[in-house]
């Protein structure tokens, strides 16, 4: 596992620290899904960080799946 990957333990600690600040209550039954979602989001962040954007690059006005 790359050192930049978010471990389940770190994600759990992040949830414990941030959820109360946001006024969120994460039910125990939902925690595994929240952890997985955070791990996937971090992988996407790592991919996005590798993109070379130019000054004129802008977000799309309309997003389509």
Per residue in 16-60, pLDDT (tens digit) is: 999 999 999 999 999 999 999 999 999 999 998 998 888 888 887
The mean per-residue pLDDT over the stretch 8-20 comes to 96
Tokens of 62: 């309309």
Query: What is the H or E stretch that residue 45 is in?
Result: helix 31-49
Stated pTM of the model: 0.74
Residue 4 has pLDDT above 80, yes or no: no
Tokens of 24: 């969120």
Query: What is the distance between the alpha carbons of residues 25 and 36, in angstroms, rounded to a whole number?
Result: 17
């Amino acid at each position: 596992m790359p050192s930049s990957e978010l471990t389940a333990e770190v994600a759990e600690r992040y949830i414990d620290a941030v959820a109360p600040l946001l006024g969120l209550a994460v039910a125990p039954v939902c925690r595994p899904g929240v952890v997985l979602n955070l791990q996937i989001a971090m992988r996407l962040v790592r991919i996005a960080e590798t993109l070379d954007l130019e000054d004129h690059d802008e977000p799309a006005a309309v997003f389509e799946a």
